[in-house]
Amino acid sequence: MALASAVLAQDLFIASPPPYTILAAGSQVTVQLVEKSPHNRADVSIGIQYCKSESECPDVLQDLGQILYTGPYTPGHHEDADYAYQNMTVTIPSTWHSGLAQLGAVVIWGFGDGQDDAARVILNVVSSK
């Protein structure tokens, strides 16, 4: 059971921005969310949350943090990638403090289409002040 959910979780991942990308508070970033085996209908929410350390970030499924994006998730096939993905542009809040932050995405599949899926990437946000 644990193995099955671990494999399932890896089906969804954030291909961009790469881990530890340095971003200024208030700047925009394109989130490339890949799903290896997309289902039919889904909604996605993307949030940002402070991390205590590299190994201590909140569980994305428990706490998405400040929501930056909510909308339909309809990944498509593009020539530059092996798997279907969708790009979403989000803005890092301008008041965000410097430090490690977790950008998390939760995909909620349509009724009966499987359990929620989550992915995350750790970013290095630099305060604009």
Ligand X SMILES: *[C@@H]1O[C@H](CO)[C@@H](O)[C@H](O)[C@H]1NC(C)=O
Binding site for ligand X (CB under 6 A): 16, 30, 32, 78, 80, 87
| Helix (H/G/I), strand (E/B), else coil: 53 | strand
Q: How far is the CB of 34 from ligand X (least distance, A)?
A: 10
Q: State which residue, 61 or 81, has the beta carbon closest to ligand X.
A: 81
Q: How far is the CB of 51 from ligand X (least distance, A)?
A: 23
Amino acid at 86: Q
Q: State which residue, 30 or 95, has the beta carbon closest to ligand X.
A: 30
Residues in the chain: 129
Q: State which residue, 56 or 82, has the beta carbon closest to ligand X.
A: 82
Q: How far is the CB of 126 from ligand X (least distance, A)?
A: 20
Q: How far is the CB of 46 from ligand X (least distance, A)?
A: 14
DSSP state of 41: -
Strands (E), the chain: 12-16, 22-24, 28-35, 42-50, 66-72, 84-91, 99-109, 117-126
Q: State which residue, 51 or 122, has the beta carbon closest to ligand X.
A: 122
Q: How many CB atoms lie within 10 A of CB 107?
A: 23
